[in-house]
Each structure stands twice: as structure tokens, then as C-alpha cells.
Amino acid sequence: MLIYRYILKSHIGPFVFSLGTLIFLFLFQFLMKSIDQLIGKGLSIWIIVQLIVLNLAWMLTLAVPMSVLVATLMAFGSLSSNNEVTIMKASGISLMKLMLPVVACSIIITYLMILFNNDVLPEANHKARVLLQDISKTKPTFLLESGKFSDDIGGAKIFVRKTFENSNELEGVYIYDFANPNNKNLITAKKGDIAFTNDFRNIVMNLENGEIHQLNNLDFVNKYRKVEFTKHRIILDAAGFGFHQSSDNAFIRGDRELSAQAMNRLIDSINFMRIKSRKDFLDGILTSSAQLFRIKFKDTLLMRNTPVLKSYTNDSASAGGYMSYDSVPAAFNNFMARMGQYNTRPQTELQLDKQVDMYNVEIYKKYSIPFACLIFTLIGAPLGYKVRRGGFGIAAGLSLFFFLLYWASLIGGEKLADRDIVSPFWGMWIVNIILGIFGLYLMFKSS
């Protein structure tokens, strides 16, 4: 119908304009946040452009739903202010019918954004991280920000008071290595420098004029040692930087660099490992207890008539399957070690649960954010009709309010889901459900 075509055309201009504006704002915010890392590092313009283009993917994911809301508010606000909606309703066309082409387009956009979030966004995030790692190869100080902690190097937390743009020199270095709870190290130095080995597998830090503080609590006795040095060299593992080959397959992907299908496979693997771990634990308890008493549970009925030894001797192992006296301490220690694992299992299970929740949150997020395009259409059309103003300022203000509400709820739901307070599904979808009900209410009330 001509009316439907006219309504859709009225959305194109506001959608494109708001999308461009939002992308510009996100890009400006990204540059302001990253300017200290990008400028003055000797990077070519082409590398910086590549990094910006790859980061446009996540900007597009956030900008499209908000642009849909702005366009719907402006289009229906303009139609209402010009009394066009009133004329159409007088002709027997309800607001719900006028919304049909817009809702259909929002469903198409939702589907396309789901594909984008599953296929394009993970690859873009991954390639952006690979590019950052390659930049770090030429500039070891790239991920060391002055006055901030960094735990990207060798598992140690590193604090540097000052870095230099044109060199790899450092000032005010503090290295905290608490990876081993029984051997804690704190290294301080007035200055130093950082560089990679030729194969990029290790990082070498040459420190000057500093101290080493060591706290060793092996055997439940705290032993403190302090060493002063004029020069000291530290070699750290660069695995955290992913320095192997500059190819996509050389890097372990994070949760935001995976598709929903890949994360579902990882969840299945974690659940399989969990079941296998429980089985191995129970088997270990049964085996160690059977070894302690030297009784195999499968053969218990066959051993009913086995005579009981009155005393243990070194040769008694050949009598009735009993262990020798010398074997008792080792078997007992093995049994106690197995039982000791019982105390650590809840923590292990908790870590696995958090990992599964983290993947589930990202999976649901890939669908819930695109679905906001449809939700914002249901809200924007009746709201624009009621406001009766199609100006960009009114539309932008209302869109900003709803999007901030939506984004704050989404982030809050993600935090609650990561902490296992709510399920990942409700954490990611509750705001869509609430706003969807609100949009349906506005639509039926306006009709």
C-alpha cells in the first residue's frame, strides 16, 4: 500500500541520521579512551584505522536499536503533529495497522542483527584483540599505563609510575607476584626497561636500584627476606599476550569472541568435565579406602571365609589380600589426600558454575540486544503519536532515557547473572519483557 510505503520512507532519514550520530559519539568516546595508548606509540595511520574499523562492530550493535527508537519516535511524531495519523484513523486505519510495516521491518532488522552478533561481531572483536597484541609486540609498554595496575604480563600485577613514548624505559616499577600463595614476592625498582625476547615468548625487564621482598610460608612458618639490588633482570612468560604467530587461530578466544554455537559447545564440554570429575573423585575415594583396608568391594562376598590375621607382618600381604604393615602409612596418607580434595570441590564447582553462567550471559545477550529493535518499535510508535512532535530533540531525549534505562538494566542483569544471583536468562531478558509489556500497553491504549 502507498500509505505503508510512505510511513517506511518517513523512517529512513531519521534512522540514518541517528545511526550516524550515535556511531560518531561512540567513536569519539573510544578515541578519547584510547588516545593515550594510540598516540605517540609510533603507530602508522593504517594500523589506527584498522583498529577503529574493527571496533565499529560493537558500536553498530548498540547504535542500531537506539536508532530504531529515534526513527520511530520522529516518524510517528511528525505524522501525528501534521494530523496525518488522525486523517488515516478517520479513514478506518488504526494505529496498529499503521505500525504493521514498521514492526515487519523491525523484525527483519532484529534477525539481521542476530546474524551480525553471532558471525561478524565475534570475529571483529577477535581481530581487534589480535591487532592489539601485534602492536604490543613492537611496543612492550603499550599495555602498561602510567599510574595503573596491569596484570597482562606473566600472571604478575605490574604498576608503573611513568612510561615514555619514544622508548621502553620505565620509572617507579612495582611487581606483585602472588600466584604462589606459599611464596609471595614484591619487587620494587626506581627505573628499568622492558623488551621481548626474539621469539616473543618471554618478556625481559631490566631493573635498577630496587628491592625484593619475599614472604615464604612453607611448613606453616612465615619466613621474610629482603634483598637490595643495583641491577636485576626478570624474565616473565609472555603467554598472556598471545605471542606465538599473528594468526587468528593462535589466540584463545574470550567469551565475546565466540558465536553462540561455539559457547554452547564449550558449556557442553564443561558439563562433561564436571560429571567426569565427580566420577573420578568418587572412584578415587572408593579405591583409596579399599586400598587402606585392602578389600576390593567387588570381591567382598567371596572373601567372607577369609581368615582374619591376628597381627600384621611384612609377609602378611600374601595372606588373604591384606596389606603389609609398612604399607599402612602410605595407604592412609593416600586416603587422607583424597578426602582433602573434598574441601576444595565446592570451590571448583563454583568456578565451573561461574564459567557456565558467563557463557550463558553472552549467549542470551546476542539475542536480547537485537530483540530491543522490536521492543523499541512497540514503544516508539505510540509514544511518538502521543507526544505529537517529530523534532529530533524530543525524539533523542526520549530515546536516550529509554536506552539508558535499558542499558543500565542489562548491565545490572549481567552482573547479577555472573554472580549467580539470578539466572542468565532472566538477567538478560527481564528488561525486554518489561519494556515489551509497556510497549503493548501503549499501543493498545493509543488504538
State whether residue 178 is helix, strand or coil.
coil
User: Which of 331, 357, 383 marks a domain boundary?
Assistant: 357
Rounded to 5°, the CA angle 67-15-82 comes to 110
User: Which of 316, 340, 357 marks a domain boundary?
Assistant: 357
Instruction: Tell me, yes or no, whether 381 lies in a domain.
Output: yes
Instruction: Tell me, yes or no, whether 242 lies in a domain.
Output: no
Q: In Å, how far are 47, 116, 118, 194, 246 from 168, measured between CA atoms?
A: 20, 39, 39, 6, 22
Predicted confidence band of residue 332 (pLDDT cuts 50, 70, 90) = low
Average pLDDT, the chain: 78
Identify which has the larger pLDDT, 299 or 7: 7
Q: Are 232 and 256 in contact (CB under 8 A)?
A: no
- For residues 67 and 124, membership in a common domain is answered with yes
Q: Which pLDDT score is estimated for 114?
A: 95
Q: Is the pLDDT of residue 405 over 80?
A: yes
Predicted confidence band of residue 330 (pLDDT cuts 50, 70, 90) = low
- For residues 328 and 388, membership in a common domain is answered with no
Q: Which pLDDT score is estimated for 313?
A: 43
- For residues 342 and 391, membership in a common domain is answered with no
Q: Is the pLDDT of residue 292 over 90?
A: no
Identify which has the larger pLDDT, 23 or 253: 23
- For residues 380 and 430, membership in a common domain is answered with yes
Section 373-389 average pLDDT = 85
4-44 pLDDT per residue, tens: 888 899 899 999 999 999 999 999 998 888 776 676 556 67
Section 387-414 average pLDDT = 80
Predicted confidence band of residue 400 (pLDDT cuts 50, 70, 90) = confident
- For residues 351 and 365, membership in a common domain is answered with no
Q: Which pLDDT score is estimated for 303?
A: 47
Predicted confidence band of residue 290 (pLDDT cuts 50, 70, 90) = low
- For residues 339 and 420, membership in a common domain is answered with no
Domain extent for 381: 2-139+361-446
Euclidean distance between CA atoms 5 and 22, whole angstroms: 26
- For residues 34 and 122, membership in a common domain is answered with yes
- For residues 263 and 339, membership in a common domain is answered with yes
Please tell me the least confidently modeled range out of 1-5, 49-53, 83-87: 83-87
- For residues 121 and 222, membership in a common domain is answered with no
83-100 pLDDT per residue, tens: 777 777 777 777 788 889
Q: Are 93 and 3 in contact (CB under 8 A)?
A: yes
Beta-carbon contacts of 273 under 8 Å, excluding residues fewer than 6 positions away, are: 352
Q: Is the pLDDT of residue 146 over 80?
A: no
Q: Which pLDDT score is estimated for 109?
A: 96
Q: Which pLDDT score is estimated for 103?
A: 93
State whether residue 130 is helix, strand or coil.
helix
Grid coordinates of 261: 554455537
Grid coordinates of 433: 519483557
- Using a pLDDT cut of 90, give the percent of the chain over it: 26
Which ranges of 294-327 does DSSP label H, i.e. alpha helix? none
Q: Which pLDDT score is estimated for 309?
A: 44
Instruction: Tell me, yes or no, whether 226 lies in a domain.
Output: yes
- Using a pLDDT cut of 70, give the percent of the chain over it: 72
Residue with cell 534477525: 111
Instruction: Tell me, yes or no, whether 244 lies in a domain.
Output: no
Compute the half-sphere exposure of residue 54: CA atoms within 13 Å on the CB side of its CA: 18
Q: Are 294 and 323 in contact (CB under 8 A)?
A: yes
Instruction: Tell me, yes or no, whether 15 lies in a domain.
Output: yes
Q: Is the pLDDT of residue 320 over 80?
A: no
Q: Is the pLDDT of residue 383 over 80?
A: yes
Instruction: Tell me, yes or no, whether 148 lies in a domain.
Output: no
- For residues 303 and 218, membership in a common domain is answered with no
Section 141-148 average pLDDT = 72
Q: Is the pLDDT of residue 390 over 60?
A: no
Q: Which pLDDT score is estimated for 249?
A: 52
Q: Is the pLDDT of residue 60 over 50?
A: yes
Q: Which pLDDT score is estimated for 314?
A: 43
* Identity of the amino acid at 39: I
- For residues 11 and 129, membership in a common domain is answered with yes
Q: Which pLDDT score is estimated for 138?
A: 62
Burial 426-446 (b: 16+ CB within 10 A, else e): ebbbbbbeebbeebeebbeeb
- For residues 107 and 188, membership in a common domain is answered with no
Q: Which pLDDT score is estimated for 312?
A: 42
Q: Which pLDDT score is estimated for 242?
A: 44
Q: Is the pLDDT of residue 57 over 90?
A: yes
Predicted confidence band of residue 244 (pLDDT cuts 50, 70, 90) = very low
Instruction: Tell me, yes or no, whether 246 lies in a domain.
Output: no
Please count the structural domains in the chain. 3
Grid coordinates of 148: 595503573
Instruction: Tell me, yes or no, whether 250 lies in a domain.
Output: no
Section 93-122 average pLDDT = 91
Q: Is the pLDDT of residue 218 over 70?
A: no
